[in-house]
Amino acid sequence: MMDEIDNHAIILLDRQGYIETWNKGAEKIKGYQAGEIINQNFRIFYTEADRQAGLPSQLLAEAATAGKVYHEGWRLRKDGSRFWGAVTIVASYNEQDVLIGFAKITRDLTERIEAETTIKLHAQNLESQNKELEQFVYIASHDLQEPLLNVSNFVELLQLEYGDKLDETAEMYLGVINHCTHRMRDLIKDLLDYSRIGRRKALVPVDCQHLVDTVKEDLATQLRQTGAVIQCGALPTVNAYAIELRQLLQNLISNAIKFTPADRKPVVTISARLHDHHWQFTVADNGIGIDPSHSEKIFKIFQRLNDRDAYEGNGIGLAHGKKIVELHGGALWVESTPGQGSRFVFTIPVHTL
């Protein structure tokens, strides 16, 4: 039976670790034929460093005292290449309880360990690239503010000191410069805010019902001006990043109202449903809707589908939203029927604090 098993090396060792039997699995994993390995010491499979450190005899000693020992590490094949071995050594005794040798079972886990190492490396790379990118956005937007401030200051000086010498056209030009610098300032502020998301990392219980009430207070002017109705089902308390979650809800509700045609009364419906491991929230509106071909694009930074004259905005709210939801380990997406409305859906995992 031992001989037929070819995915495990199963061998018997004497008390000193000299090899007594050899199966097909051992031949496949370690590369030696039975004839050339029997009577050699099993130390041969260990790296020079492990041999120097006395690992083979340590393992035998441990197996002899405890009955068995488990160990994982790099081992050597006949051709000198390495494999990751998962090794169990079991002590064997005669009827008088005297140690007579060991049975040793080895599995080759090289593929698993290499896959784990690759995943770990990718994760580390990704994390450091993300940090670099955030740092870059932060520094770039921070440094952009300074020259912009100079432009604004000098436009102000021009208007103050030369105002009476300027004709209407020059005034108009200055007005355009002013407008553009303001827009630029807003964009830079948005970028800075974006790079700051996730710096505060404390999950706290957030009562979403209460959160919607505070968002409604913040949006009071928009609600009054549009006559929008907010319908809200029972919402849970979730463990979340409070400020960010509020920002997300505020943006989704405000968009829902904003992207409804002026001749239609906006109706926004907020609901939440518990799934196995997460809460699924929906913010639905009866607005202009979104063509499904744009359902990815709208979550990218500074991407907008509508003219700024028709609907104001910078195109960063949903990019913020996506980052916030992902920070919680959830997902954000949109479902929509163009002309009839959109449903923004996001999930928040049920975190334990």
Q: Which residue number, 106 or 286, has a Cβ lying nearer to ligand ADP? A: 286
Rounded to whole angstroms, what are the CA distances from 117 to 80, 83, 87, 122, 343? Answer: 21, 14, 20, 9, 40
Stretch touching ligand ADP by CB under 6 A, among 110-118, 207-215, 235-243, 307-315: 307-315
Residue 193: CB minimum distance to ligand ADP, A: 13
Sign of CA dihedral 271, 274, 275, 280: positive
Q: Which residue number, 175 or 339, has a Cβ lying nearer to ligand ADP? A: 339
Residue 243: CB minimum distance to ligand ADP, A: 18
The residue from 304, 326, 333, 335 that contacts ligand ADP (CB under 6 A) is 304
**Region 214-273 residues binding ligand ADP, contact defined as CB under 6 A:** 251, 255-256, 259
Report the distance separating Cα 295 and Cα 314, nearest Å.
Answer: 17
Report the distance separating Cα 46 and Cα 74, nearest Å.
Answer: 8
- Classify residue 276 by its DSSP letter: S
> Is residue 285 within the footprint of ligand ADP (CB under 6 A)?
yes
Stretch touching ligand ADP by CB under 6 A, among 37-45, 48-56, 224-232, 305-313: 305-313
Report the distance separating Cα 143 and Cα 123, nearest Å.
Answer: 30
> Is residue 9 within the footprint of ligand ADP (CB under 6 A)?
no
> Is residue 287 within the footprint of ligand ADP (CB under 6 A)?
yes
The residue from 313, 327, 350, 351 that contacts ligand ADP (CB under 6 A) is 313
Q: Are 29 and 77 in contact (CB under 8 A)?
A: yes
Q: For the beta carbon of residue 288, count every other beta carbon within 10 angstroms.
A: 20
The residue from 17, 45, 315, 328 that contacts ligand ADP (CB under 6 A) is 315
Residue 319: CB minimum distance to ligand ADP, A: 6
Stretch touching ligand ADP by CB under 6 A, among 42-50, 202-210, 273-281, 299-307: 299-307
The residue from 40, 305, 329, 339 that contacts ligand ADP (CB under 6 A) is 305
Residue 211: CB minimum distance to ligand ADP, A: 18
Q: Where are the alpha helices (DSSP H) in the chain?
A: 24-30, 34-37, 48-52, 55-66, 110-162, 168-196, 208-218, 220-226, 242-258, 317-327
The residues, ordered by sequence, that sit 6+ positions from 313 with a Cβ below 8 Å of its Cβ are: 258, 304
Residue 294: CB minimum distance to ligand ADP, A: 8
Token pair for residue 98? 């005297």
Residue 344: CB minimum distance to ligand ADP, A: 7
The residue from 89, 197, 288, 348 that contacts ligand ADP (CB under 6 A) is 288
Of residues 191, 196, 313, 312, the one with CA closest to residue 244: 196
Report the distance separating Cα 282 and Cα 336, nearest Å.
Answer: 12
Q: Is 180 helix (H, G, I), strand (E, B) or coil?
A: helix
Binding stretches for ligand ADP (CB under 6 A): 251, 255-256, 259, 285, 287-290, 298, 304-306, 313-319, 342
